[in-house]
Chains A and B, each alone.
Chain A
Amino acid sequence: MTETLHLSLSNITQIASKCVDCGYCGICPTFQELSWETNHPRGILKLIRLYSDEKSKDQADDILFDAVFSCTMCKACENICPVELPLLDIWKLIRNEAFHRGKWDKKLTLIYNKLNETHNIFGRPQKERLQWAEKLDIDIKGYINKRSSLLLFIGCQASYNEDMQNIARSAVTILYKAGLDFTILGEKEWCCGSPILLAGGYEVSKSLAERNFKEFRKLKIKEIVTTCASCYNVLKNDYPKLLGDKWNIKVEHISEVIEQLLIDGKIKLKKEIREKITYKDPCELVRHCNFYEPPRKVINFIPKVRYEELSSNKEQALCCGGGGLLPITNPKLVESVNKKLIDEILYSEADIIVNSCPLCQQTIKKGLERAKKNIKVIDLVELIAQTMEVT
């Protein structure tokens, strides 16, 4: 069941006991808001020890499950842990345990059912997966499900969420105009499995991964490009674990491809942007994948760009609060975590916030609305598509 984690409840207590109590994981953004030791990653490890003891199991379970579902999965705790405990894998395992004990939040169960039935998190029919292409100037019929070594994996957010559909259009436009031979799965694309994996639903995420992999194989895909930080993280880090040795596909973030296209001169950025730009590193890229240079390099190709880093950037980037399914389980907590990031954005005096994660974008936009600030939040591919010319 838990090949993904190489962990099981039987050895999880042993791992938890390796915590040296140093407290470095107090950096956790949700703990900083809630302040209870029960929400401190160190405290959660102690809760696990209590949970594994039959005598205290029933007293600890609700507090433990509540604590692990209050996590944004930003990975700040795991990255700072001096004894290198696999904290996120542990949290996911506990979430899985909650699932098997019927302790999931009802809204999570709803997403689980939607994914099982419709294969996307919005519960919409697969037929609508290509709705975003209706407003596209390019005829992409010939690109759907054709045999190619390069696949553009669109993702559920860019496929169904109207606010995010321009990301899909921009990505396709860039690849098309650069003359790349690529394909998209269209209606045959299923959710990558990220949300359900975060919720601890390994069984479903494995079946999604297997189904997607089957489609990749049919089209002889050798390389997958994605715009979404979550899809990238899951395809890059979790698919090899879920699928084992048979997984042999290279995964790239679209910013890597764009950077290469710019270096090769296949596309050029023409339009000047005079507003001050900053980039918010999504946790799933920077902390989960140690990925932060390509987006910056791409932005710096923009003529006369005024780029400035946020005070907390790269590995130190603040969590937006929108990860780990927290918007579903505890929206109020998202707001308070998000406030710190919004304060930092306002302090930066940037006019445009560039990002590569639909969840970050939504959370930042809401945060800026609450702060009554009119700052543009845009995905990296949208920005590039707007400034691009073809050579």
Chain B
Amino acid sequence: MTLKRKTRARFMNYFKDQFRDDLVTKYLYSTDFSSLSKIRLINKKTNPDGVILIKSLDDLRKTFEIAKKSNVKLIPRMNGTTLDGGSLAYNGGVILELRGLTGEVFLEPGEPSISVPASMTFAEIRKYLKWNGFDLCSYPINVHAASVGGWISTGGYGIGSTSYGGIEKQLLELEIISPNGGHETISDPSKIGLFVGSHGKLGIITRAKLKIRFDSPLVYRICMFDSIKDVIQALPSFQDLDPFSVVFYNPHLMREINTSFNFHLPERYILIVVKEAHFDEEEHRFYRNFNSIVRKTNAELIDMRHYKGLWEIQEKLIKVLKSFHTFIPQMLKFDLVSAAKLIKSLESKFKGKLYYAGTLIPSKRISLFSFLGLKSKPSALAKLRLVFSFYNFTIKIAKKTVQGAYSSGLWYGGYDTKEFSKEIKDEFTQIKAKNDPKGIINRYSVFRRSITLKLLQILSRIIP
């Protein structure tokens, strides 16, 4: 699909060299970090009809004006593409490259908070904050790539989320521009929540005001377990320590971490508990309590002095992907009660291929980044089959085991009543109708959940 001549001319006339629709540019914007864009068989088409480099709010307004007039779909994209496939143009549309929408940074030490342009990466924000003696409360693991706007629209959890919550809890204010021309600042927490995980469907986030904390020292302790069941069972006890972050790795991933970062940790389930410690006394108390929990659970203590720097590898964990020819990533968020069952099922199904890192997040849930890693080159068909069975199996097991809400990298912006209350869904629909009556921003979900399940089931059967 290409743009109509008249529409293309409108974009070209206004944006000049900020609008591109050559084949090469379109190809470059046809993929993201998700596996979805790489599954050519079912992804219909992910090449956009064009890309606009947005440099100002006026550029955004003009884009909306033309898009509404010509009924063109718009797909926002910033730094750090996601596992959700939310920044891709399914069945055409124009991608809004928002990285050019920069702006000033305002630090309010009294509140304390920081107001930043949405295109800013978390690494840039942290650098700025660290100069001034502050740090972010919670930030994504891919801190060097993820932008504020991107993390808000995918509803992320990450480092620090155990203590401070995900991005939703960090937001004090959001500035958005919507296709109806409105430029508003939202500070009502319940309204802000609707924008979190909405993939820009309610409007383009241009600025965000985030909570910050004093840059206090972090200390950590590590222990190991024999099974994932033991890890999950022990998590609530560690939650009682009011940790900053709790992460765990499975033995396969530990082996890769050892190789990539030159550690010699046991290839077992490793759990790292991180705590903000402002005083020596606080630090010692944390160590005492940690040791006490280790004694009470099935954990074994590891002397962390031998593994100094293990916590710091978080932001560079992606390095382990280096040794794989193919990796098929997936992001899941679900409740702790179901976690052990689901992970155990996945482990037995994909024996030896499943690598994962879990992060404890509030409300007794975990955020699980997992991937199937293959060191040798699989055939295209074998790869496809693996992708389908990975997603299919996950969803099937999740349906049986997960209690309450869960999400996966196969759909986005899914404000349906299964995950959220009817009231929230209604409010979302109302705002969508007000802000974007023609539904031009991110009109499509990648796949609807029901369709996804059926499609995956069929495909895993027909592909040998």
Question: Within 8 Å CB of A63, what residues of B?
Answer: 22, 24-25
- CB A340 to nearest CB in B, in angstroms, measures 11
Are B144 and A80 in contact, CB atoms less than 8 angstroms apart?
yes
- CB A186 to nearest CB in B, in angstroms, measures 46
Number of interface residues of A (CB under 8 A): 27
Question: Within 8 Å CB of A24, what residues of B?
Answer: 142, 144-145, 318
On whether A22 and B53 interact (CB within 8 A), knowing A37-B29, A47-B24, A312-B127, the answer reads no
Are A46 and B318 in contact, CB atoms less than 8 angstroms apart?
no
Q: How far is the CA of A385 from the CA of B327 in the complex (A)?
A: 57
Are B319 and A83 in contact, CB atoms less than 8 angstroms apart?
yes
- Interface residues in B236-269 (C-beta closer than 8 Å to A): none
On whether A21 and B32 interact (CB within 8 A), knowing A37-B97, A83-B321, A83-B322, the answer reads yes
Are A21 and B31 in contact, CB atoms less than 8 angstroms apart?
yes
- Interface residues in B64-120 (C-beta closer than 8 Å to A): 79-81, 97, 99-100
- The contact string, 1 if C-beta is below 8 Å from chain B, for chain A 249-289, is 00000000000000000000000000000000000000000
Q: Which of B22, B24, B27, B327 has the most CB of A within 10 A?
A: B24
Asked whether B463 is an interface residue with its Cβ less than 8 Å from the other chain, the reply is no
- CB B40 to nearest CB in A, in angstroms, measures 15
Question: Within 8 Å CB of A38, what residues of B?
Answer: 24-25, 28
Asked whether A290 is an interface residue with its Cβ less than 8 Å from the other chain, the reply is no
Q: How far is the CA of A316 from the CA of B461 in the complex (A)?
A: 51
Are B24 and A59 in contact, CB atoms less than 8 angstroms apart?
yes
Are A20 and B327 in contact, CB atoms less than 8 angstroms apart?
yes
Closest to A36 in B: B53
Taking a contact as CB atoms closer than 8 A, the residue among B51, B97, B127, B318 that contacts A22 in the complex is B318
Question: Within 8 Å CB of B327, what residues of A?
Answer: 20
- Interface residues in A23-59 (C-beta closer than 8 Å to B): 23-24, 26-27, 35-38, 43, 46-47, 50, 56, 59
Asked whether B279 is an interface residue with its Cβ less than 8 Å from the other chain, the reply is no
On whether A36 and B145 interact (CB within 8 A), knowing A23-B79, A82-B318, A316-B127, the answer reads no
Asked whether A330 is an interface residue with its Cβ less than 8 Å from the other chain, the reply is no
Asked whether B121 is an interface residue with its Cβ less than 8 Å from the other chain, the reply is yes
Question: Within 8 Å CB of B81, what residues of A?
Answer: 21, 23
- CB B181 to nearest CB in A, in angstroms, measures 24
The total number of A-B Cβ pairs within 8 Å is: 85
Asked whether B9 is an interface residue with its Cβ less than 8 Å from the other chain, the reply is no
- CB B255 to nearest CB in A, in angstroms, measures 17
- Interface residues in B8-52 (C-beta closer than 8 Å to A): 20, 22-25, 27-29, 31-33, 51
Are B318 and A20 in contact, CB atoms less than 8 angstroms apart?
yes
Question: Within 8 Å CB of B322, what residues of A?
Answer: 18, 20, 82-84
Question: Within 8 Å CB of B27, what residues of A?
Answer: 46, 50, 56
Are B145 and A22 in contact, CB atoms less than 8 angstroms apart?
yes
Asked whether B434 is an interface residue with its Cβ less than 8 Å from the other chain, the reply is no
Q: How far is the CA of A26 from the CA of B97 in the complex (A)?
A: 14
Are A50 and B145 in contact, CB atoms less than 8 angstroms apart?
no
Question: Within 8 Å CB of A83, what residues of B?
Answer: 318-319, 321-322
Q: How far is the CA of A80 from the CA of B24 in the complex (A)?
A: 26
Question: Within 8 Å CB of A59, what residues of B?
Answer: 22-24
- CB B55 to nearest CB in A, in angstroms, measures 8
Closest to A27 in B: B144
Are A23 and B33 in contact, CB atoms less than 8 angstroms apart?
yes
Are B25 and A36 in contact, CB atoms less than 8 angstroms apart?
yes
On whether A35 and B32 interact (CB within 8 A), knowing A20-B318, A82-B316, the answer reads no
Q: How far is the CA of A24 from the CA of B81 in the complex (A)?
A: 11
- Interface residues in A308-352 (C-beta closer than 8 Å to B): 311-312, 316
Asked whether A60 is an interface residue with its Cβ less than 8 Å from the other chain, the reply is yes
Q: How far is the CA of A82 from the CA of B318 in the complex (A)?
A: 6
Q: How far is the CA of A316 from the CA of B123 in the complex (A)?
A: 11
Q: Which of B28, B318, B327 has the most CB of A within 10 A?
A: B28
Q: How far is the CA of A23 from the CA of B145 in the complex (A)?
A: 5
- CB B166 to nearest CB in A, in angstroms, measures 20
Question: Within 8 Å CB of B321, what residues of A?
Answer: 20, 22, 82-83
On whether A56 and B144 interact (CB within 8 A), knowing A21-B32, A21-B33, A37-B29, the answer reads no
Q: How far is the CA of A26 from the CA of B33 in the complex (A)?
A: 14
Q: How far is the CA of A209 from the CA of B197 in the complex (A)?
A: 57
Top-5 shortest CB links A-B = A23-B145, A82-B319, A35-B100, A83-B322, A24-B144
> Could you list 21 examples of A-B contacts with CB < 8 Å?
A18-B322, A20-B321, A21-B31, A21-B33, A23-B33, A23-B144, A27-B123, A35-B53, A36-B25, A36-B97, A37-B28, A37-B51, A38-B24, A38-B25, A47-B28, A50-B27, A63-B22, A63-B24, A82-B319, A83-B319, A316-B127
Residues of A within 8 A of B (CB): 18, 20-24, 26-27, 35-38, 43, 46-47, 50, 56, 59-60, 63, 80, 82-84, 311-312, 316
